[in-house]
Amino acid sequence: MEKTVCKENNIQEPCLGPRKKQKKMEGFVVEGYCKYSSDLLNDSEPLMQRLFYPCIDRMITQLEKCFSSVSKDIMIGIQACHPTAESFLCVLSLQKLASHYKIQLA
C-alpha cells in the first residue's frame, strides 16, 4: 500500500531497514517471545497475575527509586514557593527545602 501511495504522488519510497534500539533505553527494553498460549490471553485473571501485576510492581519500584523521601521533601518545598499553592510560604515545607540546600531561613 505504501509503495502505491508513493508512486501515485511521485514520492521517493522511504528506506526501511531494521529498527535500531536507542542506547539510552537499552536497560529498559526486554525482547523475547511470548510463551503463553492464546487461551491465557482470553482469560483476564491469569493475564493480570502474570503480566499486569508484575508490570505495575516494577513501575512502582522504579517510581519509588526516582522519588525518594528527599526528593519528595524538595518537591514539597518548591511547591511552597509558588504563590497559588495552598502551602505557599509554609514554614515547615520551606524548612525541608532550605535544610537540603543548607540555607538558613530568617
Residue 39 in this model has a pLDDT that exceeds 60: no
For residues 72 and 62, state if they share a domain: no
Count of domains forming the chain: 2
Work out the number of other CB atoms within 10 angstroms of the CB of residue 63.
9
Residues of 32-46 as b/e, b for ≥16 C-beta within 10 angstroms? eeeeeeeeeeeeeee
Q: What is the mean pLDDT of residues 15-31?
A: 65
Give me the chain's average pLDDT, please: 77
In a domain, 59, yes or no: yes
Q: What domain range includes position 85?
A: 67-106
Q: Of residues 14 and 35, which shows the higher confidence score?
A: 14
pTM score of the predicted model? 0.38
Give the model's pLDDT for residue 80: 92
Residue 80 and residue 106 in one domain: yes
The verdict on residue 1 lying in a domain is no
65-94 pLDDT, tens digit each = 777 767 788 888 999 999 999 999 999 889
pLDDT of residue 88: 93
